[in-house]
Amino acid sequence: MSQGDERARTVRGSAARLGLMAVPVAFFAVFFAYPVAAIVARGLDVDGAWRFGRIGDVLAQSDMRHVLWFTTWQALASTALTLLIALPGAYVFARFDFPGKQILRAVVTVPFVLPTVVVGTAFLALVGRGGLLDELWGVRLDTTVWAILLAHVFFNYAVVVRTVGGLWAQLDPRQEEAARMLGASRLRAWRQVTLPALAPAVAAAALMVFLFTFTSFGVVQILGGPTFSTLEVEIYRQTSQVFDLSTAAVLTLVQFAAVAAVLAVHAWTVRRRESALRLVDAATTARRPRGAGQWSLLAGVLAVIAVLLVLPPAVLVQRSLGASGFGYYRALTREDGGAFLVPPIEALGNSLQYAVAATGIAVVIGALAATALTRRDAGRFVRGFDALLMLPLGVSAVTVGFGFLIALDEPPLDLRSSWILVPLAQALVGVPFVVRTMLPVLRAVDGRLREAAAVLGASPWRVWREVDLPMVRRALLVAAGFAFAVSLGEFGATVFLARPDNPTLPVAVARLLGRPGDLNYGRAMALSTILMLVCAVALVVLERLRTDRSGEF
């Protein structure tokens, strides 16, 4: 091939990469950066002048410092508690082979795909007023920090088990056995051989748990009551109740800076994990438990899963049935003229329609972004865009939702009365899951196949259709499933955007819980159960479609 042909191929490749990135960049610029910037600008622009001193004024307030301190403290405590409880489970799933392991793996993963509103409602049924513990022993943990911490462990248990356990299953156990033969104790061999190899995965899991708990909204709002407030909850309060956009803008900037720092560290730990280890087939490392110690560890992990992960959803289902059987479910079909303009059950149809639309948007945007990031000639700009794609997971969803109402109110983007606002907000959260699911599979495709197709004259679109698509089809379906589950449960932005005549399931649950009366409480439990079952079905489909059986997300 002549030098001119090589230069032409390089030019075509760069043009193709820029073309692939154009749509995702435009999507994030219009529907993420612009609304967030509009909120920040509205909050810091006072009397026509930017008042950056407002940042210091807000942070100097004792109640705002308390919110920041509690947000950080509870995230650190939740992360430490999750690691303490979930690491034994990661070891069991990585090293033990026992009947029902695949089913139990799915059970462990269910909490992760549940909407935070459902998690909060389930723990409210367990530890709240009139909950199981209240009825049996008179113990109430709602409006206490313990309820929040336990709910966060429930939600993030699977993050540690999947991330750390997936790598643990691929570590060669013979390295630790060799250390034992050289005289090292079991603890010393684990500390000096296994732990250093696991450290990047543990750090990555800890950072993800910290990120999810640092930005916690639904769980804290339902279980914390007026006593506890994270940055996300306080941003919601300042925008929807106090109407102080200046304070909300400052808190958004603080949260944005913290999330950016966490994501930067997380990206570094992921690169370390990918480049520093030599792994073996995970199927060869699992063995049946041997000895009383291993069987006791397995029994202890099963007990933790039963109490912490299975009991709250089970109590939620029991409370939704109540004393009258399916009475609360039948009440969902009736209008009450209160929180809704339509029967609450219509929230199910609304949520499914919104989630399908959001999934379509997320798959298109995420697939284009993942394809652009796969190219070997990607520069620093492209790698930086990879990090930016993760920001919607950590930036305040409340800010994004309220920003939609503030920014998208003039032609040609006057969308405030359009139904598409909700799917667009949900898709922002779904895109990172699509990218993270598809990117490893796309990177595993042999680049020489693409090069051969290009040499034979295939256009970039045909190369993707003929080479990449057949290999990533199942990963694309998995990505769509994750986007659907995440969109179905999105709450922070949707609470601003869903109209009273078109509520989503999470919004309907929150509204019912905010109203007094046993009927509203029971209907909230019934709606939460329906939402949980829909998410569980989506997870079962995901488990059957998964192409990577290593156990990682």
Q: What is the mean pLDDT of the chain?
A: 79
- Going by C-alpha positions, the residue among 340, 345, 484 that lies closest to residue 423 is 484
**pLDDT of 549 strictly over 60:** no
| 386 and 410 fall within a common domain | yes
Q: CA 27, CA 360: separation in Å to the nearest integer?
A: 14
**pLDDT of 366 strictly over 60:** yes
Q: Are 322 and 517 in contact (CB under 8 A)?
A: no
Query: Could you tell me which residues come within 8 angstroms of residue 473 by beta carbon, excluding any fewer than 6 positions away?
Result: none
pTM for the full predicted model: 0.81
CATH classification of the domain holding 418: 1.10.3720.10
Query: Percentage of the chain surpassing pLDDT 90?
Result: 14
| 414 and 279 fall within a common domain | no
Please give the pLDDT value at position 49: 55
| 32 and 129 fall within a common domain | no
| 179 and 304 fall within a common domain | yes
| 299 and 360 fall within a common domain | no
**Surface-to-core class of residue 511, CB atoms within 10 Å of its CB (0-12 exposed, 13-18 middle, 19+ buried):** buried
| 173 and 200 fall within a common domain | yes
Of 40 and 318, the structure prediction assigns the larger pLDDT to 318
> What is the average pLDDT across 466-489?
78
pLDDT digits (tens, 9 = 90+) for 397-443: 888 888 888 888 777 777 877 888 899 999 998 888 888 777 777 77
Please give the pLDDT value at position 14: 55
- Detail the DSSP E strand segments found in 337-475: none
Query: Percentage of the chain surpassing pLDDT 70?
Result: 78
- Length of the chain equals 553
Of 308 and 510, the structure prediction assigns the larger pLDDT to 308
Highest mean pLDDT among 12-16, 251-255, 377-381, 446-450: 251-255
Side chain identity at residue 178, one-letter code: A
Highest mean pLDDT among 73-77, 388-392, 489-493: 73-77
Cα 20 from chain centre: 25
State the residue for tokens 């912490």.
Answer: 308
- Residue 82 in any domain: the answer is yes
Q: Residue 522's domain spans which residues?
A: 24-53+325-366+382-437+469-547
| 347 and 224 fall within a common domain | no
- Residue 17 in any domain: the answer is no
Please give the pLDDT value at position 360: 93
Here the tokens at position 269 are 């730990």
**Surface-to-core class of residue 419, CB atoms within 10 Å of its CB (0-12 exposed, 13-18 middle, 19+ buried):** middle
- In the chain, what is the greatest distance between 2 CA atoms, to the nearest angstrom? 82
| 277 and 340 fall within a common domain | no
- Residue 209 in any domain: the answer is yes
pLDDT digits (tens, 9 = 90+) for 3-13: 555 554 554 55
**Start-to-end C-alpha separation, the chain:** 41
- Residue 445 in any domain: the answer is no
State the residue for tokens 């070997």.
Answer: 376
Whether a cis peptide bond, with omega within 30° of 0, leads into 412 is yes
| 316 and 333 fall within a common domain | no
**pLDDT of 78 strictly over 90:** yes
Of 159 and 283, the structure prediction assigns the larger pLDDT to 159
| 189 and 70 fall within a common domain | yes
* Other CB atoms within 10 Å distance of the CB of residue 376: 9
State the residue for tokens 């190899």.
Answer: 197
Q: Of all helices (H) and strands (E), which one includes residue 306?
A: none
pLDDT digits (tens, 9 = 90+) for 148-159: 999 999 999 988
| 317 and 362 fall within a common domain | no
Residue 164 confidence class, pLDDT cut points 50, 70, 90: confident
pLDDT digits (tens, 9 = 90+) for 99-124: 888 788 878 888 887 888 888 888 98
- Residue 414 in any domain: the answer is yes
Q: Are 84 and 150 in contact (CB under 8 A)?
A: no
Q: CA 188, CA 198: separation in Å to the nearest integer?
A: 15
**pLDDT of 548 strictly over 50:** no
Of 471 and 17, the structure prediction assigns the larger pLDDT to 471
Q: CA 167, CA 196: separation in Å to the nearest integer?
A: 12
**pLDDT of 52 strictly over 60:** yes
* Other CB atoms within 10 Å distance of the CB of residue 482: 23
**Surface-to-core class of residue 487, CB atoms within 10 Å of its CB (0-12 exposed, 13-18 middle, 19+ buried):** buried
- Residue 392 in any domain: the answer is yes
Number of domains in the chain: 2
Please give the pLDDT value at position 274: 47
> What is the average pLDDT across 358-368?
91
Please give the pLDDT value at position 550: 40
Q: CA 260, CA 277: separation in Å to the nearest integer?
A: 27
317-328 in b/e form (b: 16+ CB < 10 A) is: bebbbbeeeeeb
- Residue 251 in any domain: the answer is yes
> What is the average pLDDT across 480-500?
83
Answer positive or negative: Cα dihedral of 302, 303, 304, 309: positive
Of 309 and 375, the structure prediction assigns the larger pLDDT to 309
- Residue 114 in any domain: the answer is yes
| 154 and 198 fall within a common domain | yes
**pLDDT of 216 strictly over 90:** no
Q: Are 366 and 392 in contact (CB under 8 A)?
A: no
